[in-house]
Structure 1
Amino acid sequence: MLLTQLWRQLPFFVWLVALWMLLWGQFTWVAFFTGLIAAIFVTRVFRLPPVELSGRVDLWHGVIFVGEFVLALVAGSLTVAAQVLDFRRQPGTAIIAVPLVTDDDLIMTHTAVTASLIPGSLIIETDRDRRILYLHVIGVRSARDVDRQRESVQRWERRIVMAVGSRAQVAAVRAVGPTRGGVA
C-alpha cells in the first residue's frame, strides 16, 4: 500500500527536484541532492492528498497539444501587441464563464494554466463544484468574440484530456463532441 502510494507520487517528487534545479539554474549533483532534500522536506511537511494520475499518455495528442500551444503563444503575443499599438481604438474586455466537461482537478488546473499562459486571457476564478473557469479576456468586441474565447478554452480542455486524461474522460469529451472549431 505504501509502496503503491509512493510510486503514484513519484512524478510529482521528480518534478519538485527538477523545479529546484531550474530555480537555481544549475544541473549539478549538488543541486540534485539539495533538490532531493527540499522535495523530501516539502512532501513531509506540507502533506497534500495524493493526486491520482490517469496512467495514460497519448504521445500523438501530446505533440499536437504542444505544437498548437506554441502557435497560440505566438499568435496571442502578436494579437495583443497589435491591440496595444492600435491607438485608434481600445481593445474591448470581458469576463467570461467557461463550463468544462471533466470534473478532474488536474485537468481543470492544466486547462486554467494553459488558458492563462496564452496572451490576452487570464483566469480570475475557478468554480470547482460547477466545473467553471472565469477568465478576463481582452480583444472582445461582440458576442461572437466571447463565444470564440469560450470555445478556445474548451478546445484546450479537450486537447489536454486527449493527451493525458483517463479513458472515461476521453469518452466524456468525445460524447460532448468537438466545439465549433473542432479537435480530433
Structure 2
Amino acid sequence: MSPRRIGQHISSRTRGGFQPRAIIALALVWVLLWDRISLGNAINGLIIGAVITQIFPLPSIQYFGRIHPWRLLVLTARFFVDLVSAAIEVSIATVDHRPPRGGSIVEVHLRVRNELYMTIISALVSLVPGSIVVEARRTANVLYVHGFHVTTPEGLEELRQDVLDVETRVVRALGSAEELEAVMGTSRKESA
C-alpha cells in the first residue's frame, strides 16, 4: 500500500467511517421530528443518517472503562438531589428583594483526560441550576464554570470542589481501575 493510501486509510478510520449507532440515532431523531412512526420515515431516517455521517463524520471516542451499576445509581441519585436543591436555591434567589450579587467563573483542571467524561461532567454541571460550563478546553483538560452568586474565594473553591466531586462520581460509575486510581490518588494528595 502506498504512503498516500495508508494516510487516507488512517484518516478515514480516525474520523469515524461507518457509524451504525450514529445512523440509528439520527434516524430516531428524524422519525421524532416527523412525529409519525412509519416504515417510510424510518427508512428515510436511516438513509439521511448514513449520508450525514459520511459528509460530517464524527471522531470515535475512546472508552476503556466499565459501567459499575451501583455507582451509576449513586451518580444519578446525587445528580437529582443536586438538581432539586439548586432549583430551590435559585427559586428563592429570584423572589428575593435584594439585588443579585453576581457570579464568578472558576477554572477547573480535570484529573482524568477523557473526552467522554469531560462531556458527561459538563452536562451534569450545566444541567444543575445556578452553574454552567462556559468553556471546555479539551487539549488542556480544563472546564470554565460560572457559578450563580459565587463572589468569595471560598465560594470559588467550593464550586471547583463540587465539579471535581462530579468528576469523581462519573469516573467511579464509568471508569477503569487506572482512571479511578488517578482520581482517588489525586484527591488523597489534595486532602493531605
CA deviations over 1:128-173 (Å, ceiling 9, x no partner) = 2221111121121322211111111111111111112233212211
Percent of aligned positions with the same letter in both sequences? 29
| Matched residue type, 2:144 | Y
Which residue matches 2:130?
Answer: 120
Q: Would you say how many aligned residue pairs link Structure 1 and Structure 2?
A: 176
User: Does the CA contact (< 8 Å) of 1:76 and 1:118 recur in 2?
Assistant: yes
Structure 2: where are the runs of 5+ without partners?
A: 1-13
**1:62 matches 2:90:** no
Which residue matches 1:147?
Answer: 157
Q: Residue 52 of structure 2 is aligned with which of 17, 26, 42?
A: 42
How far does residue 11 in structure 1 lie from its aligned partner after superposition?
Answer: 4.5
Which residue matches 2:113?
Answer: 103
| Matched residue type, 2:43 | F
Q: Which secondary structure does the structure 1 equivalent of 2:98 belong to?
A: coil
Structure 1 pair 170–89 and aligned structure 2 pair: CA distance change class (3 A):
same
Task: Name the TM-score, length of structure 1 as normaliser.
Answer: 0.80
Q: Which secondary structure does the structure 2 equivalent of 1:136 belong to?
A: strand
Following the alignment from structure 1 to structure 2, what is the Cα–Cα distance between the partners of residues 91 and 31? Answer: 50
Which residue matches 1:93?
Answer: 103
User: Does the CA contact (< 8 Å) of 1:54 and 1:164 recur in 2?
Assistant: no
Which residue matches 2:178?
Answer: 168
Which residue matches 1:52?
Answer: 62
How far does residue 21 in structure 1 lie from its aligned partner after superposition?
Answer: 4.3
Q: Which secondary structure does the structure 2 equivalent of 1:68 belong to?
A: helix
Following the alignment from structure 1 to structure 2, what is the Cα–Cα distance between the partners of residues 129 and 101? Answer: 13
| Matched residue type, 2:115 | D
Following the alignment from structure 1 to structure 2, what is the Cα–Cα distance between the partners of residues 144 and 150? Answer: 10
- Deviating beyond 6 angstroms after TM superposition, the runs of 4 or more aligned structure 1 residues are none
CA deviations over 1:30-63 (Å, ceiling 9, x no partner) = 5543432232222211122222222511111111
Structure 1 pair 62–11 and aligned structure 2 pair: CA distance change class (3 A):
farther
How far does residue 179 in structure 1 lie from its aligned partner after superposition?
Answer: 10
> Who wins on radius of gyration, i.e. which is larger?
2
Following the alignment from structure 1 to structure 2, what is the Cα–Cα distance between the partners of residues 112 and 33? Answer: 34
Task: Name the TM-score, length of structure 2 as normaliser.
Answer: 0.77
User: Does the CA contact (< 8 Å) of 2:22 and 2:49 recur in 1?
Assistant: no
